[in-house]
Amino acid sequence: MSGAPPPPPPPGFPQAFLPPVPPPWTEHRAPNGTPYWFNPLTNVSTYTRPVPAPPPGFPVAGASIPPPPPGFPVAVPPASAPPAQFAPPIHFSAAADGATGKKKEKKEKPKEKKPIEGTPWIRVTTNKGNVFYNNKETKESLWTVPEEIKEQVEALEKEEREAKEREEREEREKEEAEAKAKSASPASGKKRKAANEDEAAEDGAEEQEGSPVEEEKGDLDIEIEGAAEGSGLPSKPEEATLPAPTADAQPPKKKKAKTKVVTSLEELDDEDWQRQMAAEMAKEAEDQEKQEQEAAVAAEAEKQKVEEQRAPKLEVDQVEAAALYKVLLSEKDINPMAPFETELPKFVNDPRYHAVKSQRDRRDLFDEFCKEKIREQRAAKKRAAESGQKVDPLTAYRQLLATVVTSTRTHFSDFKRSHQKDQRYRDFGKTEGDREKEFKRYLRELGERKREAAEKAEREFREMLSEDREIRPGDKWADVKKRHANDSRYTAVNSSSLREQLFNKHVSALASGSSSAPSASTSSGKPALSKEDKAARAAASLREREERVRQEKMRAERNTNLARGNLGKEEAEREFGQLLVDAVRDHKTRFDDLASSLSLDPRFDAPALTPLDKRRLFDAHQAKLYRSRVADVESLFAAHSPKLTTPFHDVLPSISSDPHVTRLVGDDFDQLEKLYDSWVATRTQRAREDFTQMLKENSILEHWGRLKKMEKREDVKMIGEEGVREDSEDEEPDVKAMAEQVDLRAIHAVLKNDKRYLEFNHVPEERARWVEEYVENLAAPKTTVHQRD
């Protein structure tokens, strides 16, 4: 229980306002606010307030122990009913509160666990000789032997009795042999007698502790643990079945059936009060974490506020501050399309930024500046277009790169996806390869510029530290950096860890110089020592410069080799592809079979190509070769299959000896038939699409079909109207009347001369249905331009 508050007793105990509790008792609060008391020496918790022990010789009369709280077992369940789950193991011990000094009863624990062979039951024997049976699958525990394993238990007990009798017999024979060898000493007899007396006294004490008097006082403190599988010890019935006694085993004590109160504090994870305590502790931890986060945010805001206050401020009026702020924005490379938060790090450390007092005013001025800059850019573009001034495409493309590409890790695919609609991107280069090549060249230049800028920043940072004469060996960087926070050479080094590393090197150099100075002053009579020191420092400086030059040379050489390799790889792939065209003519050939013969050609051993590149190029060549040969065979199918219904056996005699077929499938005509079926399915699908296109192209069909739809719609409107229009004999028929006379037979007569129509002569019903569906799906013509479709 160390490290956690003691568990509270169960609710329901009465409270009394008595004198202060005696030591070592301590008072605590349960999750529901009820007070309880805990004794750390005996691990006992109680809702009853402990009282000081009476003086020796004055027993407390009429002391009573409160009954166990609701929910705890107070009666023995029947043997037929399944054992109830134990309530939370809580300590209740009234006798422990007194100063009687009586020895505490041993806690009952499992001593031996014996599995019943062939069943999920195990027999558990406690340290007090009690036996119960536990089912590992159902977590059921019984004091009595279950009916389903009664035979196995009897066999197990029989084996145990026989084994014990055999061991006793062997032990007895051994003792007799030892007795014959030498006589037993009196001392050993006395020791055995004393041990027997101690054992009898201990048994008597245990029997006295289990007396009914103590049961009435409520001094029952038993810890009952479940089996290894987590099941609890069941309540013991009045007549529990115990194993049969052996010859030398002591008969089990007859115990009166009584209510057992669980006192263990080790199996409380699943109980209600433990869950309440865990929930309360979790809530407290969450509240504490939330408070810490709020404190951290407040501290960060306070720190930022302090830094802003510490920054040098310009004492100017509001108009001048706004003007200075706009001048600052014009000096920086501000992207007018970017939000304020993105561009803020570029000018936040400038004093002119802090000259504007309000953050809202800063944002408004920034937005105003961006609008003005956008207008200027548009005006400049318009003037350039009007004047007819032409910009070099390469220059415009590099300007685009300089504007948007700021990292050497940018990929060309990302750049292309974001700016392929930009006019500067489209104007440069004839192919994507030209644009990508210029993009990579710009990345190399950008990397060189960044490297030079970083070296220059480090050099200037070291100069800044050298100019500070107040730096002494042993100074902390956290104290020194405050003096240089506003120096541009300080902010030029972006990494805080790099600044600290450069400072540590500078301090180390100062320490080595200061340590050599006293030695030189003390040994002024030995000028040879100072010369050696100077020579050593010069040699170290020379080695450092040589190492730096060597690193730069290696980096430049690596970049050169990489660029040379990229240029040579394209040429090597082209040469290898030509080798495959010359040497590989069979699409079934494997790369491993031809590698030995191909390696004789110099084009195969190009250093720029890896084995994976060669295999990839070989697979691509084989796939291209196979597609070409399949296309040749499909051309033969089209030449010898005039109809969609031409069967394969009619086509086979005409093409079986063709070289194209022989190169593709050889004599495997089953594979050729599969290719033919696939080609017929594709051809049928394409013919169906051509048929639909034919219907769309036929203007007569569309015209009469739409008129018929309009006539049907007007007939529907006329239903229910009074009067019938009478046509005069002299009136000429209109287009609607003519449309009524057009039927599907006339439509088919118009289409019957089209080759796409004749392709489906073998399915006339299906073809007629397609025409009907197309006519039905046509919409009636609009009567006005305002009418919707």
407 pLDDT more than 60: yes
The pLDDT tens digits for 189-224 are 544 545 555 555 555 544 444 444 344 334 434 344
Give the residue-averaged pLDDT of 635-642: 85
E strand spans, 362-429: none
- The one-letter code for the residue type at 617 is L
Token pair listed for 295: 């404190």
Is the separation of the CB atoms in 213 and 255 below 8 Å?
A: no
If one compares 388 and 409, the residue with the highest pLDDT of the two is 409
338 pLDDT more than 50: yes
Between the two ends of the chain, the Cα-to-Cα distance in Å is: 82
For the chain, what are the domain ranges?
71-181+197-268, 544-609
Euclidean distance between CA atoms 379 and 385, whole angstroms: 10
543 pLDDT more than 70: yes
Helix axes 611-640, 527-583, angle to 10 degrees: 20
The pLDDT tens digits for 274-288 are 566 667 667 777 888
pLDDT at position 274 is 56
% of the chain with per-residue pLDDT over 70: 66
The alpha carbon dihedral of 108, 112, 117, 120 has a sign of: positive
**234 C-beta neighbours (distance < 10 Å), count:** 23
pLDDT at position 238 is 41
Contacts with 502 (C-beta within 8 Å, 6 or more apart), sequence order: 458, 461, 462, 465, 493
Confidence of residue 20 (pLDDT cuts 50, 70, 90): confident
Residues in the chain, how many? 789
Give the residue-averaged pLDDT of 250-257: 44
The pLDDT tens digits for 452-491 are 888 888 888 888 888 877 787 877 888 788 778 788 888 8
The pLDDT tens digits for 87-132 are 344 444 434 444 444 455 667 788 888 898 888 898 988 888 888 8
Q: Is 300 exposed, middle or buried (0-12, 13-18, 19+ CB in 10 A)?
A: exposed
E strand spans, 12-145: 26-29, 35-39, 44-46, 110-115, 121-126, 131-135, 141-142
DSSP 220-244: --B-----TTSPPPPPP-SS---PP
pLDDT at position 739 is 55
The pLDDT tens digits for 575-591 are 888 888 888 888 888 88
Token pair listed for 431: 């192919």
Give the bridge partners for 115, in sequence order: 122
Give the residue-averaged pLDDT of 3-25: 62
- Give one word for 484, left, alpha or beta, with left for phi > 0 and alpha for psi -120 to 50: alpha
Helices H / strands E in the chain, number of each: 26, 7
**149 C-beta neighbours (distance < 10 Å), count:** 20
332 pLDDT more than 50: yes
- Give φ, ψ of 122 to 5 degrees: -130, 150
Residue 428's alpha-carbon distances to 43, 391, 393, 433, 446, in angstroms, are 86, 11, 5, 11, 20
pLDDT at position 372 is 94
Is the separation of the CB atoms in 633 and 660 below 8 Å?
A: yes
135 pLDDT more than 80: yes
Euclidean distance between CA atoms 67 and 60, whole angstroms: 19
- The one-letter code for the residue type at 269 is D
- pTM higher than 0.75: no
241 pLDDT more than 50: no
Token pair listed for 789: 């479709």
Is the separation of the CB atoms in 352 and 328 below 8 Å?
A: yes
Residue 142's alpha-carbon distances to 50, 117, 135, 153, 742, in angstroms, are 37, 18, 9, 14, 95
Give the residue-averaged pLDDT of 419-439: 88
Euclidean distance between CA atoms 134 and 120, whole angstroms: 8
- The per-residue pLDDT of the chain, averaged, comes to 73
- In angstroms and rounded to an integer, the radius of gyration of the C-alpha atoms of the chain is 51
The pLDDT tens digits for 29-80 are 888 888 998 998 888 889 888 887 665 544 444 444 444 444 444 444 444 4
The pLDDT tens digits for 293-306 are 888 878 777 776 66
Residue 488's alpha-carbon distances to 221, 450, 458, 754, in angstroms, are 77, 17, 12, 83
Q: For 6-10, 504-508, 550-554, 746-750, which range has the lowest pLDDT when averaged over its residues?
A: 6-10
pLDDT at position 373 is 92
731 pLDDT more than 50: no
501 pLDDT more than 80: yes
Give the residue-averaged pLDDT of 308-329: 78
pLDDT at position 104 is 59
Cα-to-chain-centroid distance, residue 329: 42
Give the residue-averaged pLDDT of 640-662: 84
The alpha carbon dihedral of 358, 359, 364, 366 has a sign of: positive
DSSP helix/strand/coil, 486: coil
334 pLDDT more than 60: yes
624 pLDDT more than 60: yes
Give the residue-averaged pLDDT of 352-376: 91
Contacts with 271 (C-beta within 8 Å, 6 or more apart), sequence order: 87, 88
pLDDT at position 364 is 93
Residue 413's alpha-carbon distances to 286, 416, 417, 784, in angstroms, are 46, 5, 6, 51
Is the separation of the CB atoms in 390 and 352 below 8 Å?
A: no
726 pLDDT more than 90: no
Q: For 53-62, 173-182, 261-270, which range has the lowest pLDDT when averaged over its residues?
A: 261-270
Which contacts (CB < 8 Å, 24+ apart) does range 266-275 have? Answer: 266/89, 266/223, 266/225, 267/86, 267/89, 267/225, 267/226, 267/232, 268/7, 268/88, 268/89, 271/87, 271/88, 272/88, 273/7, 273/8, 273/10, 273/30, 273/31, 273/88, 274/7, 274/88
DSSP helix/strand/coil, 121: strand
DSSP helix/strand/coil, 268: coil
If one compares 272 and 39, the residue with the highest pLDDT of the two is 39
pLDDT at position 788 is 56
Token pair listed for 99: 């100063």
If one compares 312 and 707, the residue with the highest pLDDT of the two is 707
696 pLDDT more than 90: no
Euclidean distance between CA atoms 439 and 398, whole angstroms: 8
% of the chain with per-residue pLDDT over 90: 5
Instruction: Pick the closest to residue 260 from 229, 311, 222, 310 (CA basis).
Output: 222
pLDDT at position 542 is 82
pLDDT at position 436 is 92
Token pair listed for 520: 């030189």
Give the bridge partners for 121, in sequence order: 135
pLDDT at position 625 is 87
pLDDT at position 602 is 82
pLDDT at position 90 is 44
pLDDT at position 375 is 93
If one compares 183 and 31, the residue with the highest pLDDT of the two is 31
Contacts with 56 (C-beta within 8 Å, 6 or more apart), sequence order: 99
Euclidean distance between CA atoms 139 and 121, whole angstroms: 9
